[in-house]
Amino acid sequence: MNDKIELLKCPKEGIGCEDHRLVINRDYCASQNYMHDKDYSRSILALKNAFHKTTELNETSCLNCARLFRSTITESLEYIHEDLLNMSTGILGTKRFQSSFELAVNVLMEMKREI
């Protein structure tokens, strides 16, 4: 598994957040796999779990990394949201993914409130 969430510069060299990064990367990777399989709801929920795990990184030295992690996760959810919007609207739009689209809207709003 390639880690999407990596440390670039850390005064603690990542000591103390290994478990958090492991869970964040596991959930982020799971989200990508679910999205590939068109299981959008599970993909969104995996991103939501990864996002919430970043909120546990609240030491002063971790705040910048946690902010970057949340931004990366939010961007991924915005991509899913846009995909679902495109599939749900227009002449060729389908209601098949409507519940996933609504979930994406709600989770995205929740994430943006916490950023």
Q: What is the DSSP string of the chain?
A: ---SS--SS-TTTTTT-HHHHHHHHHHHHHHHHHHHTT-HHHHHHHHHHHHHHHTT--SGGGHHHHHHHHHHHHHHHHHHHHHHHHHHSSTT--STTHHHHHHHHHHHHHHHHH-
Within a domain: 7: no
Within a domain: 13: no
Supply the pTM of this predicted model.
0.91
Within a domain: 62: yes
- Taking 70 as the threshold, does the pLDDT of residue 56 lie above it? yes
Domains in the chain, number: 1
Q: Which of 6-20, 28-42, 53-67 has the highest mean pLDDT?
A: 28-42
Domain range for 102: 18-114
